[in-house]
Amino acid sequence: MEKVIMGNHAVSFGVQLARVQVIAAYPITPQTQIVEMLSELCADGRLAAKFIKVESEHSVMAAVVGASIAGARAFTATSSHGLALMHEVLHWAAGGRLPIVAANVNRTLGPGWNVWTEQTDSLAQRDTGWMQLYCETNQEALDLVLLAYRVAEKVLLPVMLVLDAFFLSHTMEPVDVPEQALVDRFLPSFEPQYKLQPGEPCSFYGLVTPEYYMELRHKMHLAMQSALAEITAAGNEFGRLFGRYYGLLEPYRLEDADVVLVTSGSITGTSRVVVDEWRARGHKVGLLKMRVFRPFPFAAVRQALAHAKKVAVLDRDISQGLGGIWASETKGALYGVAEPPVVFPFIIGLGGRDVTPESIHKVLDYTVAHDAPEDDTVWMEVKR
């Protein structure tokens, strides 16, 4: 059924369709509408889930971990400082191999206070052991909730579903809300092998000595690696059932492109329009949309970019002392490629500053005009 809904509610519909059993949440702009709608769905019985209204995001993630380790399908949503406050517990969700799904609506971290979009909040959680999927549209936000549970429950690692503040979270778009029966085929109920079970006195999260710790992390690493194939397989299966296919990446007019934009999130839609304009003027420009940040699809990125001459990476994030995080990973993917493309790392749109078609034109103008970036990082549209 097609509905015109905002990104936040697309996530809520996804959670309802996933038949989540326990939700814990704490309000934070711009995420709040996700859990407000879920609260209503739980209250009127449309979703048979327990909604725990905790007092902080640290407690949110702890409650979700508790529910998951007790064997329930669990969900939460947050943003920015809320995600930062969860940080400690994010490690325990992943280290416990729990198939939790959490939506993070990208919001800038303070100081100063800023509620607008930026990806530093989620990208800063890159070493917690969570998979991270980035959405371009509201349809993707709904669909990837279902895909996230399917993959998480297969590889036993949590998934962070990431969408832009306001550009997605509060923007209405037409979204196909799939039929429950079809979703149930894609995402059957989950029975974990290990869980808190009276009569089975097992210990979870106990003290681990150096004799065993490394093996546990190695198994996580293998699981994370296997997720690349699982995401691909689940994305194909999703496509067969629902007509919308999802892969690790989404190439756009990439085949013969000399200059490639690497994007993620809602900037992608704006960039596509600009790519079309440059193509119409005869330039061989293409786009590579990144959907999966963890596990980072190094081989797929390498394959997609190896034949380009220049790659412009748009980072709406900043790792001080490094630069753009997507650019850093992209460079890593191209390491060892014979005659690799020149990578142009752009920092753009921080703190929710609007990234317009004109901004993307400037990125391409700069990339075409230079043989190499003039600095380690190129700051676009920054007042000096």
Partner 1 sequence: MSYDVSESELLASGHVACPGCGAPMAVRYALKALGENTVLIVVASCWSIIAGPFPYTAAQVPLLHTLFATGGSVASGVKAGLEARGLQDTTVLTLAGDGGTFDIGIQALSAAVERNEDFIYMCYDNEAYMNTGIQRSSATPWGAWTTTTPVKHPKDQPKKDMVAIMAAHRIPYTATATIAYPEDLIRKVQKAKSIRGSKFLHVLAPCPSGWKSEPSQSVLLSRLAVESCIFPLYEVEHGEEYRITVWPKARVPVQKYLRLQGRFAHLRDEDIGRIQENVDDEWQKLVTRSDRAKAPGNVDQAF
Tokens 């014979």 label which residue? 338
The answer to whether 122 and 132 have CB atoms below 8 angstroms apart is yes
For the bound state, the minimum distance from the C-beta of residue 87 to partner 1, rounded and expressed in Å, comes to 11
Count of chain residues binding partner 1 (CB under 8 A): 43
Strand, helix or coil at 119?
A: coil
Q: Is 112 in the site for partner 1 (CB under 8 A)?
A: no
Pick 60 or 313: Cβ nearer partner 1: 60
- The region of 21-29, 222-230, 248-256, 291-299 touching partner 1 under the rule CB under 8 A is 21-29
d(CA 384, CA 382): 6
Radius of gyration in angstroms for the set of CA atoms belonging to the chain, rounded to a whole number: 21
The answer to whether 334 and 299 have CB atoms below 8 angstroms apart is no
Q: Is 245 in the site for partner 1 (CB under 8 A)?
A: no
Pick 213 or 245: Cβ nearer partner 1: 213
- The region of 46-54, 253-261, 348-356, 370-378 touching partner 1 under the rule CB under 8 A is 46-54
Pick 86 or 249: Cβ nearer partner 1: 86
Binding-site string for partner 1 from residue 159 to residue 198, where x marks contact by CB under 8 A and - marks none: -------------------------------------xxx
Q: Is 92 in the site for partner 1 (CB under 8 A)?
A: yes
Residues of 25-50 as b/e, b for ≥16 C-beta within 10 angstroms?
bbbbbbbbbbbebbbebbeeeebebe
Report whether the peptide linkage leading into residue 206 is cis, meaning its omega lies within 30 degrees of zero. Answer: no
For the bound state, the minimum distance from the C-beta of residue 56 to partner 1, rounded and expressed in Å, comes to 7
| Parallel/antiparallel/unpaired status of strands 22-25 and 50-53 | parallel
**Interaction residues for partner 1, span 203-242 (CB under 8 A):** 203-209, 212
Neighbouring C-alpha atoms within 13 Å toward the C-beta of 70: 10
Pick 98 or 333: Cβ nearer partner 1: 98
What tokens does 235 get? 């994305």
- The region of 38-46, 55-63, 290-298, 371-379 touching partner 1 under the rule CB under 8 A is 55-63
| Parallel/antiparallel/unpaired status of strands 131-134 and 292-294 | antiparallel
For the bound state, the minimum distance from the C-beta of residue 113 to partner 1, rounded and expressed in Å, comes to 22
The answer to whether 72 and 83 have CB atoms below 8 angstroms apart is no
Pick 71 or 247: Cβ nearer partner 1: 71
Q: How far is CA 248 from the centre of its chain?
A: 11
- The region of 17-25, 136-144, 180-188, 318-326 touching partner 1 under the rule CB under 8 A is 17-25
**One of 10, 11, 42, 49 touching partner 1 (CB under 8 A):** 49
The answer to whether 7 and 170 have CB atoms below 8 angstroms apart is yes
Q: Is 67 in the site for partner 1 (CB under 8 A)?
A: yes
For the bound state, the minimum distance from the C-beta of residue 155 to partner 1, rounded and expressed in Å, comes to 20
What tokens does 260 get? 């490639």
**One of 34, 47, 64, 105 touching partner 1 (CB under 8 A):** 64
Q: Find all residues with CB under 8 Å of 23, minimum gap 6, and list them.
A: 15, 35, 38, 42, 49, 50, 51, 52, 74, 75, 76
Which positions touch partner 1 (CB under 8 A)? Answer: 21-22, 24, 49-50, 52-56, 58-60, 62-72, 74, 88-89, 92, 196-209, 212
